[in-house]
Chain A
C-alpha cells in the first residue's frame, strides 16, 4: 500500500521556498568534499522532455563525447525506449565547472516515470536534496507532474521549476509559470526557461543546481547508513545497487549488513557512474554511487533498504523502507503445457531482475499449470508479460487482471483473495471490501462531461473538480481499482481523444457488493474466464463479454454456446455457429505437398490455441474483458 497519501490542503497550500544560495564559497563550515556535491532528480510528466534534458546535461558537462552519446542515454531498455518511459532508474555523476571557479559533482538520479513505480520514485527522491521540475511550456502542468512533485515536497527537496520546450511556437512560459504556482503551489518566479532540444538555457539549469540545491550534510564520522536507491542484475557481477550514502563512508572490502534482513556481505567494488561505471576506493557521505558485493539475487538487495556495517551496525534504518506490494494480479499460462518448466525458469530469472513482481504456481482446469503473478500495476504487468514473450520467447496466455479483495467471513475471519477462483460461496461471506484509488485527471474543459460519465460508469465517486486555467480542468475521483485495471486508461484516452492525463494513488478499501461471474463455453465453466464484478454491472458486463467471446473464438465443427452466469442464473448467452464447410475443392498430384503445408500451417495456428473441452480458444479470448465495446 502506498502511504504517500496527500491531503487536498497540501494541494492548495503554496509552499513558498526561499532561494538561498549554496555555493561552496558560502558554505565555509562544511567539509570541502561534500560541499561540491549536488544530488538531484528530474521530475516530469511523460513526454515533457525529462530524458532529453538529462542527455543535454550529460553532454554539456562532457561526461560522454558526442560519439558516445546515444540518444536518451538514460532510457536503456528497449521496452523503455519504445514506450518512451524510464522504468529502472540510472544515474550519472557529472563534473561541472561552475561560474564560481569550482568543479562540482552533480549526481543526477534518474527516476522511473510511471504511476506504477511511485515507491521507486520516492526512494530516488529521498536520495536527493533537490529536483528539477520540468513543465512543458506548451502543455502546462499534467497529472504526473503533480504526483511526483508532491513526493519531492514530502522529501523536503529544493524544487527548481524548469519550463521546457520554449522553442515550440505554442510555448507559453508565463502560463506554465502561473500553473506551477496555482496548481502545484510553488514559487515559479525564478523558473528557468529552456529548450532541451536546442540546448537553450541549459547553462542556467546547471548553475541553478549548484546555487539552489543544498549540498548533502556531512556525516563521514558517523556509522555507515546508505540507502539502496535502485538495484539491478548484471550477468557478470551479480546484483548491483545504486546507493546514496547518508552517514559514514563505504569502503571497498567493508563487511556490510542489509538492515531489512540482517544478511552480511563483503563490498567487492564501489564507484560512480559517469555514466559508465568507474570504480573507486570508497563512497563518502553525501555521495551517490554503485555497490557490488556478490549478491546473487535481487530479492536480497531491495530498493529502500539501508546498508550499514556488519561490525558496527547503525541502530536505526533510514526511513521509508517497505516491501513492494503487488496490487494487480493475473494468471500466466504457457500455451503449450510442455513449456511450463520454461515459464517457471523464465519467471525465476526475470524475478532476479525485478523482485517487485510475485509469482506462485497455480492450476486452472481450463489452462492447466501456470502461475498467479502479482504486479505493482497495469503497466508493470504489461512490461513483465512482454519481456517474457520477447526475451524468453514464450507463448503465453494471460488471464484478465484482477485485484485483491478482502473477504470478511460470517465467522469473523478475514482473507485476501486475488483470484476469482478463490471466491467463496456467498453464504459464508459477511462483507467484501475492494481497493480503491484516488485518481487525478487533467483534461480540456470540453471533455469533462464524458469523463465524468466514464468515472460514474466505473463506480467512481467525485471528490473534487478544479478549473486550472487555459480551459483545463482537474477531476479527482475515488475509483475502485478493479475498474481501473479493466481498460480504464484506454477508455479515458478515447473519451478525451488523448487530451487527458491521469495519475492515481492507492486509497482505502471500500465495502462493495461484488459477486463472482462465471463464463461457460460449450456448457463447461471456464475458470480462467471467471471474474469478480459489482452486482450492478453483472448484467451488462456479462452481455458484453459473451458477445466479445463470440467474436474471438473461431467457429468450430459444432455450435458452441457461450454463457455468462452468476450462481446458477444465466445472465447472457451467445452461440458460435458451427463451421459448415471446410474442404479443399481440388487436390491431386502436384498439389499435395503444397496443400499439406497449408494444413500444417492451419494446425500450427490451432496449436497456439487452448483446448477447452473440445473447443479451441485463442489466447486473446482470455483477455476479452479488456476489449469490451461500450458496456
Chain B
C-alpha cells in the first residue's frame, strides 16, 4: 500500500472571546502562557517524529488553526516551523496556512508571520454586515477586515482565504449577496462559505432551544447554496469542495488533503490526527482539549491523546468515500483500488448504484464524483455507505 502525503495540523486554542456559534476547541485566556504552550508543541512534535509510521516522510502541508493562531507571537510560529522542518523535512513549495482573526492583527504582526514562514492566510471574516457581525459576536467590524486584508497584502501574502457564513437568522438572500459581493472586491485567492449550523453544546444551541431563531428552511438554504455557487463561479472561483471556492490552482492543499484521505499529525490542545496502518485499518486520535491539561500531559510524556479509534478497512473505505465525495473531482478510483482492493462502485455496489442510476453520482475519467444535483444531498449519499 503506497503511503499518502503527510500533513501537519497545529492547534492554537486561545481566543479573546468565544463566539456563541463556535464549537471548535477554543478557550478564552487573558494571558496565555505561550512559553509553556510552545514547549508542549515542540515536545509533541518530537514524540510523533519518533514514531515508526512517520519515518522518512516529509511534510506536505502545515496548517495553524484555532482558536485564534494569530494571537500567537510570530517568533513561536517560526520556532515551531523550524523544529518541524528539522524533524520531518518539507516538500517543495509546501503550503503553510495560518488562521487569522481580522480584529487581532496589524501590519507588523503580518510581517512577522510572513517572515516566520507562513505563506497562506485564512481570515475569519464571517460577514461584512455590521448587524450580522454583532449577532455573531465577532470582535471585529467590517472596517477592520479591510484594514487587515490590506495589511496582509502589503506584508507579502499572495494567497489569502476569506471565511464567510450565511443562512443567519432573518438574513435575506440580498443581504448575503451584498456581503459576498463586498468580499469579492478584495479579490482573495480563496473563499470558504459555510451555512450557519447550530452545533450542539454551544451557547447558540442553548439560545435556539430557549427561543428558536428563524433559520432558513430547506428551500431557502438550497437557494442560498446555489446562488453562492453561481455567483462565485461567475467571479472565476471553482467550487472545488462543497463549501470551498478557489481561483485556478489556488485551492487549499491542506484541507484538500483531509478529503483525499491523507495521513496527518495533529498537535496542540484538542488536535486530531489520522493515519492508515500497514494492515489497512485507519487510526484516529484526538488530544485533550483543555490547554492546561494538554500542556501538562505533553510536557510530561510527549503526547496527550484523549480518545482514539481504529476503523476497520470497511469503515475506512466508507469514510474515504464520504469525505472524498465532498470534492468537486471526487475520488480517484485508481487510488481507491490501491487502498481498498476494489473499485469504489464494486466495493459499495449495492449502496452506490441507486445514486448512480438517479444521476446523483457520476463517473468521469476514473473519478467518481457528485453531480450538481447530488452535491446538495452529499450527506444522504455518505450515510448510505457508512457502516
Q: What residues of chain A have their CB less than 8 Å away from a CB belonging to chain B? A: 557-558, 579-590, 592-593, 596, 599-600, 602-603, 606, 614
Q: Are A584 and B258 within 8 A (Cβ)?
A: no
A299 CB, nearest partner CB in chain B, Å: 43
- Interchain CA distance A547-B196 in the complex, whole Å: 33
Interface hits, B236-260 → A, CB 8 Å: 242-243, 255, 258-259
Q: Are A557 and B380 within 8 A (Cβ)?
A: yes
B274 interface hit (Cβ, 8 Å)? yes
- Interchain CA distance A51-B385 in the complex, whole Å: 55
Q: A592-B272, A600-B387 are in contact. List 17 more A-B contacts (CB 8 A).
A: A557-B360, A580-B219, A580-B376, A581-B376, A583-B242, A584-B379, A585-B196, A585-B242, A585-B243, A588-B255, A588-B258, A589-B63, A590-B25, A592-B323, A593-B309, A599-B386, A600-B386
Given A579-B218, A600-B386, A602-B383, also A589-B354 (CB < 8 A): no
B340 interface hit (Cβ, 8 Å)? no
Q: Are A603 and B258 within 8 A (Cβ)?
A: no
Among A583, A587, A602, contact of B323 (Cβ-Cβ < 8 Å): A587
A454 CB, nearest partner CB in chain B, Å: 37
A517 CB, nearest partner CB in chain B, Å: 30
B284 interface hit (Cβ, 8 Å)? yes
Given A586-B197, A603-B383, also A557-B377 (CB < 8 A): yes
B252 CB, nearest partner CB in chain A, Å: 9
Q: Are A586 and B243 within 8 A (Cβ)?
A: yes
A376 CB, nearest partner CB in chain B, Å: 43
- Interchain CA distance A600-B309 in the complex, whole Å: 15
B295 interface hit (Cβ, 8 Å)? no
Given A580-B222, A585-B242, A603-B386, also A592-B258 (CB < 8 A): yes
Assign chain B's interface to a size class: 35 or more
In the complex, 30 of the A-B residue pairs with CB atoms within 8 angstroms, ordered by the A residue number, are A557-B380, A581-B218, A581-B225, A581-B376, A582-B378, A582-B380, A583-B375, A583-B378, A583-B379, A584-B197, A584-B379, A585-B197, A586-B197, A587-B258, A587-B323, A588-B259, A589-B63, A589-B65, A589-B255, A589-B264, A590-B11, A590-B25, A590-B270, A590-B272, A592-B274, A593-B286, A596-B319, A599-B383, A600-B386, A602-B383
**Which A-B residue pairs are the 7 nearest by beta carbons?**
A590-B272, A583-B378, A585-B194, A581-B222, A585-B195, A581-B376, A582-B379
Q: What residues of chain B have their CB less than 8 Å away from a CB belonging to chain A? A: 9, 11, 24-25, 63, 65, 194-197, 218-219, 221-222, 225, 242-243, 255, 258-259, 264, 266, 270-272, 274, 284, 286, 309, 319, 322-323, 326, 354, 358, 360, 375-380, 382-383, 386-387
Chain A residues whose C-beta falls within 8 Å of the C-beta of B377 in the assembled complex = 557, 579, 581-583
A3 CB, nearest partner CB in chain B, Å: 56
B196 (CB) vs chain A CBs: closest residue? A585
- Interchain CA distance A581-B323 in the complex, whole Å: 17
Chain A residues whose C-beta falls within 8 Å of the C-beta of B219 in the assembled complex = 580
Q: Are A579 and B380 within 8 A (Cβ)?
A: yes
- Interchain CA distance A374-B309 in the complex, whole Å: 48
B377 (CB) vs chain A CBs: closest residue? A582
Chain A residues whose C-beta falls within 8 Å of the C-beta of B326 in the assembled complex = 587
Chain B residues whose C-beta falls within 8 Å of the C-beta of A603 in the assembled complex = 383, 386
Chain B residues whose C-beta falls within 8 Å of the C-beta of A600 in the assembled complex = 386-387
- Interchain CA distance A12-B103 in the complex, whole Å: 90
- Interchain CA distance A2-B342 in the complex, whole Å: 65
Given A587-B326, A590-B272, A596-B322, also A580-B218 (CB < 8 A): yes
B321 CB, nearest partner CB in chain A, Å: 11
A612 CB, nearest partner CB in chain B, Å: 15
B90 CB, nearest partner CB in chain A, Å: 19
Chain A residues whose C-beta falls within 8 Å of the C-beta of B218 in the assembled complex = 579-581
B364 CB, nearest partner CB in chain A, Å: 20
A614 CB, nearest partner CB in chain B, Å: 7
Chain A residues whose C-beta falls within 8 Å of the C-beta of B379 in the assembled complex = 582-584, 599
Given A592-B274, A593-B284, also A586-B194 (CB < 8 A): yes
Q: Are B258 and A599 within 8 A (Cβ)?
A: no
- Interchain CA distance A583-B229 in the complex, whole Å: 14
Given A581-B218, A583-B379, A614-B354, also A590-B286 (CB < 8 A): yes
- Interchain CA distance A511-B308 in the complex, whole Å: 68
Among A582, A585, A588, A599, chain B packs the most CB atoms within 10 A around the CB of A588
A598 (CB) vs chain B CBs: closest residue? B379
Chain A residues whose C-beta falls within 8 Å of the C-beta of B266 in the assembled complex = 589-590
Q: Are B378 and A584 within 8 A (Cβ)?
A: yes
B216 (CB) vs chain A CBs: closest residue? A581
- Interchain CA distance A584-B360 in the complex, whole Å: 16
A602 (CB) vs chain B CBs: closest residue? B383
B287 (CB) vs chain A CBs: closest residue? A590
B224 (CB) vs chain A CBs: closest residue? A581
Q: Are B271 and A590 within 8 A (Cβ)?
A: yes
Given A580-B218, A580-B219, also A593-B272 (CB < 8 A): yes
A605 (CB) vs chain B CBs: closest residue? B383
Q: Are B383 and A592 within 8 A (Cβ)?
A: no
- Interchain CA distance A589-B10 in the complex, whole Å: 11
- Interchain CA distance A580-B216 in the complex, whole Å: 13
A409 CB, nearest partner CB in chain B, Å: 44
- Interchain CA distance A590-B66 in the complex, whole Å: 11
- Interchain CA distance A59-B46 in the complex, whole Å: 76
A555 (CB) vs chain B CBs: closest residue? B218
- Interchain CA distance A146-B78 in the complex, whole Å: 90
- Interchain CA distance A596-B65 in the complex, whole Å: 21
Chain A residues whose C-beta falls within 8 Å of the C-beta of B286 in the assembled complex = 590, 593
- Interchain CA distance A585-B224 in the complex, whole Å: 12
Q: Are A599 and B284 within 8 A (Cβ)?
A: no
- Interchain CA distance A599-B242 in the complex, whole Å: 17
Chain B residues whose C-beta falls within 8 Å of the C-beta of A583 in the assembled complex = 225, 242, 375-379
Among B63, B195, B386, chain A packs the most CB atoms within 10 A around the CB of B386
- Interchain CA distance A151-B46 in the complex, whole Å: 87
B221 CB, nearest partner CB in chain A, Å: 6
- Interchain CA distance A606-B383 in the complex, whole Å: 10
Chain A residues whose C-beta falls within 8 Å of the C-beta of B259 in the assembled complex = 588
- Interchain CA distance A219-B382 in the complex, whole Å: 78
- Interchain CA distance A587-B192 in the complex, whole Å: 12
Chain A residues whose C-beta falls within 8 Å of the C-beta of B319 in the assembled complex = 592, 596
- Interchain CA distance A581-B379 in the complex, whole Å: 9
Given A579-B218, A580-B218, A581-B221, also A592-B380 (CB < 8 A): no
A596 (CB) vs chain B CBs: closest residue? B319
A593 (CB) vs chain B CBs: closest residue? B284
A609 CB, nearest partner CB in chain B, Å: 13
- Interchain CA distance A7-B272 in the complex, whole Å: 79
B221 (CB) vs chain A CBs: closest residue? A581
A556 CB, nearest partner CB in chain B, Å: 9
Among A581, A589, A592, chain B packs the most CB atoms within 10 A around the CB of A581
- Interchain CA distance A603-B381 in the complex, whole Å: 11
A236 CB, nearest partner CB in chain B, Å: 43
Chain B residues whose C-beta falls within 8 Å of the C-beta of A558 in the assembled complex = 358
A604 (CB) vs chain B CBs: closest residue? B386
A221 CB, nearest partner CB in chain B, Å: 74
B40 CB, nearest partner CB in chain A, Å: 17
- Interchain CA distance A599-B284 in the complex, whole Å: 17
B9 CB, nearest partner CB in chain A, Å: 6
- Interchain CA distance A614-B353 in the complex, whole Å: 13
- Interchain CA distance A140-B377 in the complex, whole Å: 62
- Interchain CA distance A589-B242 in the complex, whole Å: 15
Chain A residues whose C-beta falls within 8 Å of the C-beta of B382 in the assembled complex = 599
B385 CB, nearest partner CB in chain A, Å: 9
Chain B residues whose C-beta falls within 8 Å of the C-beta of A582 in the assembled complex = 376-380
Given A583-B376, A584-B378, A614-B354, also A596-B221 (CB < 8 A): no
- Interchain CA distance A590-B323 in the complex, whole Å: 13
A584 CB, nearest partner CB in chain B, Å: 6
- Interchain CA distance A174-B9 in the complex, whole Å: 85
